[in-house]
Chains A and B, each alone.
Chain A
């Protein structure tokens, strides 16, 4: 499995501001994803980060609120824009390591609190 790191590990932000979360994988991967885990709930997919093209967003998530970049095969960023307290959550990136295997490996998460 690959090592997946995220920065920052946690942050406290004021409403109306934006935060960019970075995800770095220690090897080239075919696919990268961003999930949200709200307090006491399970993981929900926000979007698939596509290398060299626009991300693919799930229903209920939009690019203006969660812009995503993926400039190469090992790195991606997720921005949480114009934050409100409802955005307080853990944000996780994941990666699918090989074309043949469907399992995803997760980073440690970024715990975001919006005040």
Chain B
């Protein structure tokens, strides 16, 4: 069965304390892996798409990487405004347009 697992469920960081969020997947065939940010009461905001192992994407303090079994979202020197739930999702080859989401990592960055 296709599965997407995110860890940790929750993460508390001090401002400036870099860390990584993990998204591991067990799927029959990966077309793409997506990272989203979701603030309370809002819809998910698209961050990155990764298509193949070894690919990396960066945006401000965030960097996403992909291997054959997992993806990491690295957060460098986070600020309180980076606090949010980070979701990863996969789209399967032959799976139509469906995105299968993980349950997310709730990130809290404190001063």
**Interface set of A (CB-CB < 8 Å, partner B):** 1, 4, 31, 33, 41-45, 48, 56, 58, 92, 94, 96, 101-109, 111
Contact = CB atoms under 8 A, between A and B. Distances in A.
A112 to B, nearest CB: 14
Interface of B: 31-32, 34, 36, 41-46, 49, 87, 89, 91, 96-104
Given A42-B101, A43-B101, A94-B43, 8 more contacts: A43-B44, A43-B89, A96-B97, A102-B49, A102-B97, A103-B32, A104-B34, A109-B43
Contacts of B49: 101-103
22 contacts: A1-B46, A31-B97, A41-B103, A43-B87, A45-B98, A45-B99, A45-B100, A48-B97, A92-B44, A102-B31, A102-B34, A102-B49, A102-B97, A103-B34, A103-B49, A104-B99, A106-B44, A106-B46, A107-B43, A108-B43, A109-B41, A109-B42
A102 B32 contact: yes
B57 to A, nearest CB: 11
Q: How would you classify the secondary structure of chain A's contact residues: helix, strand, loop or mixed? A: strand
A3 B54 CA distance: 32
A53 B101 CA distance: 27
B46 to A, nearest CB: 5
A113 to B, nearest CB: 14
A42 B99 contact: no
Contact of A106 (B32, B41, B43): B43
Contacts of A96: 97
Contacts of A109: 41-43
Contacts of A56: 96
B46 A102 contact: no
B15 to A, nearest CB: 27
A104 B101 CA distance: 12
Contacts of B103: 41-42
A96 B49 CA distance: 13
A27 to B, nearest CB: 15
